[in-house]
């Protein structure tokens, strides 16, 4: 991490302590949880804090008064008994102290290290003391009083456990300068305008219903966008020599135990028990076991490899209700998945091929993206030597393709293998995790996958698990916000709308509509008895790319008056000419 990132993270972490001090002064009876720095800011959890958003300015002002006093942050290391005296009235801190001194692993956000058992690190700032290992700023003069803002209140279970008490979490934004904060607040304001849930409702794309929580219902127009994305994806797979498989969405639990998902992913899965024979099944949280069963169904030779199985599989994963969020976090989705079975000497060429496919799929959307190496997590499966081998192979490929222009996500790999992850950047500068290329030596061993090599000997293949859009649902949500609902022509649910000026022009409008539809252009005809001005405004609000006005002149000339989204009035145009323009733009995917 760069020194600049270290500096702002330290400021944000220090602000979480200052906020806790301010809240404790204003609400003396609160019980303190934890308060880490996070992306763009910080938070702190409190028990017994009953406040609303209207109370945040008061807490902010108290924080600024603390900052103006130029209070120093002082670190001390004390014994367990001393710490228990200091935090005698703070049950959550006592719990952390007890776990620390027993040498148990705590979350990073607690900011204490189990290796320091029986030595407790605390920080004192003015009259406030907190359990923490730091680091912190030297004094509050390092913080610009106008460069932070408390942003929202939320509920959060203690230690993320829904069986534990629900605490009040207060979030704040923080930057080094007031300008950075102002820029970020403008970005948030723009992001709220682009909220895919609001745009999705406005454009009649999708909805959610309590009968299927976290599972989107796509309306006719939304289904068009969804299917166009899937069609584009399928065409790209065929160009790269993938074959399609289609596997059941429900499999016996035994296969999930064999794959390792039972041990590493069980809490995120849905299970079904058959009423008659008590046999237990699970809805698939991932597609890989199905692809493996297809591979193992018949003997394989080295001549068959690499085998590339693509499957836009239906995935179901259990999420807490508070974590669901529009199309970004759902419980059921279609993942643009693929699994590649190959010999070890094919790893480099296959991964480089997937990287080219990533480029092909992302390019039409105008999204920037960056690759990251995600390494072995603590909760991993299999032989560590194979993990090291896989990480070394991915590092070599990343350096060859990107030089030093890739990032590192330590301990963020899948439980069965390290991976290359891609983060997309949208027009607001926000980043989204989408594509992943996972190199897996472990699961083929678990399922005894084999092929016969050129010497007639049985060998174990290596697997690549890969997805590029991530899921069609989430990718669609990203695109809605990236384009603010104004999809490129090839994705637009309605590509053109015919707007007759009066009732006398409706018959000709129908002729134009028929010609467009005959050429596979998604078009509609507005027959409402409204002024042409209102029809144009409504069509523009629906983000339709081409508005085709027809009146007396157009009827006589067999033309249309074209208004193009973002370009304005394009003048009169022959229908055949317009059709050629639209078809070329769709084909080019510009």
Q: Residue 276: inside a domain, yes or no?
A: no
* Position 6 confidence tier, pLDDT thresholds 50, 70, 90: confident
Q: Residue 273: inside a domain, yes or no?
A: no
User: Three-state SS for 93?
Assistant: helix
The answer for residues whose C-beta is within 8 angstroms of residue 447's C-beta and 6 or more apart is 258, 259, 289, 292, 296
Average pLDDT of span 473-479: 95
Average pLDDT of span 353-367: 93
Whose CA is closest to 476, among 283, 316, 330?
330
Both 441 and 502 in a single domain? Answer: no
Whose CA is closest to 314, among 329, 281, 289, 336?
336
Q: Residue 268: inside a domain, yes or no?
A: no
We report the CATH number of the domain holding residue 509 as: 3.40.50.800
Q: pLDDT tens-digit profile of 111-146?
A: 444 444 468 999 999 999 999 988 999 999 999 999
Distance CA 152, CA 166 (A): 16
pLDDT value at 586 more than 80: yes
pLDDT of 160: 84
Domain end residue (candidates: 483, 518, 533): 483
pLDDT value at 508 more than 60: yes
Q: Residue 274: inside a domain, yes or no?
A: no
Q: pLDDT tens-digit profile of 371-420?
A: 999 999 988 888 889 899 999 999 999 999 999 999 999 998 988 899 99
Residue position matching structure tokens 């204490």 = 112
pLDDT of 116: 44
Active site residues: 288, 317, 335, 337, 339, 419, 465
Q: Residue 90: inside a domain, yes or no?
A: yes
Strands (DSSP E) along 375-533, which ranges?
A: 407-409, 419-425, 431-440, 451-452, 458-459, 462-467, 496-500, 523-525
pLDDT of 105: 43
Please, what is the Cα angle at 488 between 485 and 490, to 5 degrees? 125
* Position 28 confidence tier, pLDDT thresholds 50, 70, 90: very high
pLDDT of 60: 97
Q: pLDDT tens-digit profile of 60-83?
A: 999 999 999 999 999 999 999 999
Distance CA 47, CA 159 (A): 13
pLDDT value at 550 more than 90: yes
Both 99 and 239 in a single domain? Answer: no
**pTM, whole model, 2 decimals?**
0.82
Half-sphere exposure of 445 (CA within 13 A, CB side): 10
Average pLDDT of span 211-227: 96
Q: pLDDT tens-digit profile of 314-323?
A: 999 988 766 7
pLDDT value at 435 more than 50: yes
We report the CATH number of the domain holding residue 80 as: 3.30.980.10
Both 128 and 243 in a single domain? Answer: no
pLDDT value at 585 more than 90: yes
Both 152 and 223 in a single domain? Answer: no
Average pLDDT of span 331-335: 94
Average pLDDT of span 457-477: 95
Both 578 and 450 in a single domain? Answer: no
Both 402 and 517 in a single domain? Answer: no
Average pLDDT, the chain: 92
pLDDT of 590: 74
Both 473 and 501 in a single domain? Answer: no
Whose CA is closest to 544, among 562, 520, 518?
562
Does residue 387 have a cis peptide bond before it, meaning omega lies within 30 degrees of 0? no
Distance CA 394, CA 326 (A): 34
Both 548 and 430 in a single domain? Answer: no
pLDDT of 106: 45
Distance CA 576, CA 581 (A): 9
Q: Residue 311: inside a domain, yes or no?
A: yes
Domain extent at residue 361: 198-248+283-483
Task: Quote the number of domains for the chain.
Answer: 3
Please, what is the Cα angle at 1 between 409 and 146, to 5 degrees? 115
Q: Residue 361: inside a domain, yes or no?
A: yes
pLDDT of 571: 93
Both 331 and 400 in a single domain? Answer: yes
Both 382 and 287 in a single domain? Answer: yes
Both 177 and 202 in a single domain? Answer: no
pLDDT of 259: 87
Q: Residue 270: inside a domain, yes or no?
A: no
User: Three-state SS for 492?
Assistant: coil
pLDDT value at 224 more than 50: yes
We report the CATH number of the domain holding residue 330 as: 3.30.930.10
Q: Which residue has the higher pLDDT, 106 or 84?
A: 84
Sign of CA dihedral 470, 474, 480, 482: negative
**Percentage of the chain surpassing pLDDT 90?**
81
Both 447 and 534 in a single domain? Answer: no
């Amino acid at each position: 991490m760069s020194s600049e990132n270290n500096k702002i993270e330290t400021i944000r972490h220090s602000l979480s302590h200052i906020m806790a001090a301010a809240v404790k002064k204003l609400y003396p009876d609160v019980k303190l949880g934890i308060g880490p720095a996070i992306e763009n800011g910080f938070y702190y959890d409190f028990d017994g804090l009953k406040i609303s958003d209207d109370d945040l300015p008061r807490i902010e002002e108290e924080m600024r008064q603390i900052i103006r006093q130029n209070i120093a942050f002082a670190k001390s290391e004390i014994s367990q008994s001393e710490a228990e005296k200091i935090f005698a009235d703070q049950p959550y801190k006592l719990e952390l102290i007890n776990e620390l001194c027993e040498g148990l692993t705590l979350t990073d956000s607690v900011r204490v290290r189990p290796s320091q058992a029986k030595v407790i690190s605390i920080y004192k700032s003015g009259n406030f003391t907190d359990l923490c290992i730091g680091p912190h700023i030297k004094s509050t003069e390092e913080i610009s009083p106008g460069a932070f803002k408390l942003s929202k209140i939320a509920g959060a279970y203690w230690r993320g456990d829904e069986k534990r008490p629900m605490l009040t979490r207060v979030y704040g934004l923080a930057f080094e300068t007031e300008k950075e904060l102002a820029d970020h607040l403008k970005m948030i304001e723009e992001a709220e305008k682009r909220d895919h849930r609001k745009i999705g409702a406005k454009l009649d794309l999708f909805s959610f219903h309590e009968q299927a929580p976290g599972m989107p219902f796509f309306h006719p127009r939304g289904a068009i966008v969804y299917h166009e994305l899937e069609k584009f994806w399928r065409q790209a797979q065929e160009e790269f020599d993938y074959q399609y498989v289609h596997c059941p969405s429900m499999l016996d639990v035994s296969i999930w135990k064999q794959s390792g998902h039972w041990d590493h992913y069980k809490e995120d899965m849905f299970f079904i028990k058959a009423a008659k024979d008590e046999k237990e099944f699970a809805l698939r949280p991932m597609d890989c076991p199905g692809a493996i069963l297809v591979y193992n169904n018949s003997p394989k030779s080295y001549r068959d490899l690499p085998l590339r199985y693509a499957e836009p599989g239906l995935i179901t994963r259990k999420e807490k209700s508070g974590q669901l969020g529009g199309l970004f976090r759902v419980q059921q989705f279609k993942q643009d998945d693929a699994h590649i079975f190959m010999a070890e000497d094919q790893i480099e060429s296959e991964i480089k091929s997937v990287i080219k496919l990533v480029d092909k799929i992302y390019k039409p959307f105008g999204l920037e993206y960056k690759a990251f190496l995600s390494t072995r997590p603590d909760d991993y499966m299999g032989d560590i030597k194979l993990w090291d081998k896989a990480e070394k192979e991915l590092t070599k490929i990343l350096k060859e393709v990107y030089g030093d222009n890739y990032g590192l996500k330590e301990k963020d790999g899948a439980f069965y293998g390290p991976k290359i992850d891609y983060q997309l950047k949208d027009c607001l500068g926000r980043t989204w995790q989408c594509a992943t290329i996972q190199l897996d030596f472990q699961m083929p061993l678990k399922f005894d996958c084999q092929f016969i090599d050129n010497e007639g000997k049985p060998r174990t293949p290596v697997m690549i698990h890969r997805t590029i859009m991530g899921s069609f649902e989430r990718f669609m949500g990203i695109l809605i916000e990236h384009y603010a609902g104004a999809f490129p022509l090839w994705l637009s649910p309605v590509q053109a709308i015919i707007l007759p000026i009066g009732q006398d022009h409706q018959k000709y409008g129908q002729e134009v509509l028929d010609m467009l539809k005959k050429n596979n252009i998604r078009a509609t005809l507005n027959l409402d008895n409204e002024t042409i001005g209102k029809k144009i405004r409504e069509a523009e609000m629906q983000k339709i790319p081409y508005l085709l006005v027809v009146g007396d002149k157009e009827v006589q000339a067999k033309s249309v008056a074209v208004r193009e989204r973002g370009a304005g009035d394009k003048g009169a145009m022959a229908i055949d000419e317009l059709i050629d323009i639209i078809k070329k733009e769709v084909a080019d995917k510009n």
